Amino acid sequence: MSTTEAHTEVPVFDAAFVQDLHARYAEIRDATPVQRMATPHGLSVWVITRYDDVRAALADPRLCKEVTRIQEVIAANLLPDSGGREFEDSLASHMLNMDPPDHTRLRKLVVKAFTSRRVEALRPRVEQITERLLDDMAGQSEVDLLDSFAFPLPIQVISELLGVDESRRDAFRAWTNVLLDASDREEAAVAAAEMSQYLAELIEVKRREPGDDLLTALVDATEDQDRLSDKELIAMVFLLLVAGHETTVNLIANGVLHLLRNPEQWAALRADPELVTGAVEEMLRFDGPVMHGTFRFTAEPMTIGGVEIPAKQIVWVGLAAANRDPEQFPEPDRFDIGRDAHGHVAFGHGIHFCLGAQLARLEAHTALRGLVERFPNLAAAGPLDDVQWRFSTLIHGLRAFPVHPA
């Protein structure tokens, strides 16, 4: 019997799977180290869910991004709504889709610009934005936590970091939404073209009038006389903007959801806001906001968890599943801000480890601390058990989150 026949093909990434994400991943993790599955678009993927396999996979060079194969898959199926050729040729050719040596080269250049010092210098500004958003929420009987707080904070931070002017921020949110969620291929192609053009103009402006922002630093970044080409810059800025728009947002919202579902945890945080650091790590582990999984390709035949996988196959690395593996995290389905969540893989692992982790943590710590201090009696305005998740392979976030701030 071949490995293909050894496993039942079941749909994955359909709306029902995402709605019940952790339970479905748990079924797979308990049953088998590798589960062969089909996507709604008809692709076949090999899903891995156990912590040790996931960590090992992310550090294994035989599991690669292989950009040409990714482009074929994007074009064919995986992100069928992501804007066609325009998207594949420009925006999607960023370092997250690359292997060494291209990845190494690009990452080195961006790390030079996106320094720890630059992120730390943002702290007062992040605090200021947080305070202003909380001020706006005060006195309102009901707000959507996503629209009023969780979205605007990281969007404003990443836009300022990259020097995107205020008049274009709504357009950016619209383009990003279309590219990640849209079902209309033509609409996505238009968004990709408009976004590429705007990014090209932005880069041109920075060349003429350098500022004290990340984009200027990226334009200027050099290493052994190497620098980013215009095409690489556009793809890099696209990656940073999308990552900056769609990640911390859901970390804040998903985290607050679990704190409100577990009132004793909210009370503990309220009593001691210093617990915020551990709380954010637990929020990342328990219900990571982005990429409940990430994909890789087998560069050659290989064996994972005793299962043989042929070359050129798509492996879905289940980050959210690994973070709930009972072998690694005792009682994994218990949300506990006091636990040691160290070692979670919400930010990935290995050469593609999240470049924005420090920024995401800074934003989430500030946001959560501000929220619990300003609105200690924050309450959900809808049923906490019956929330709707967005349907996306990349993002694990709520569709809406109505709350009473006072």
Binding residues (CB under 6 A) for ligand HEM: these are 95-96, 107, 158, 239-240, 243-244, 247-248, 251, 288-291, 294, 319, 346-348, 352, 354-356, 359-360
Which residue type occupies 300? E
CB of 78 to ligand HEM, least distance (A): 13
| Of 83 and 289, CB closest to ligand HEM | 289
| Of 133 and 252, CB closest to ligand HEM | 252
| Of 118 and 404, CB closest to ligand HEM | 118
Which residue number is nearest to ligand HEM in terms of Cβ? Answer: 356
Residues 247, 249, 253: CA angle, nearest 5 degrees:
120
CB of 34 to ligand HEM, least distance (A): 18
CB of 23 to ligand HEM, least distance (A): 21
| Of 189 and 335, CB closest to ligand HEM | 335
Dist. CA 246–CA 397, nearest whole Å: 9
CB of 255 to ligand HEM, least distance (A): 10
| Of 189 and 242, CB closest to ligand HEM | 242
For residue 309, what are the β-bridge partners? 302
Dist. CA 18–CA 390, nearest whole Å: 8
The single residue listed with the structure tokens 């599991």 is: 63
Instruction: Return the percent helix, strand and coil in the chain, to nearest 5.
Output: 55, 10, 35
Backbone angles phi, psi at 59, to 5 degrees: -105, 5
Single out the residue of 374, 377, 369, 373 nearest to residue 403, CA to CA.
Answer: 377
CB of 116 to ligand HEM, least distance (A): 13
The single residue listed with the structure tokens 């924005």 is: 356
- Sign, CA dihedral 341-379-173-16, equals positive
For residue 222, what are the β-bridge partners? 227
CB of 351 to ligand HEM, least distance (A): 6
| Of 248 and 313, CB closest to ligand HEM | 248
CB of 157 to ligand HEM, least distance (A): 8
In this structure, how many other beta carbons lie within 10 angstroms of the beta carbon of residue 68?
7
| Of 34 and 252, CB closest to ligand HEM | 252
DSSP state of 307: E
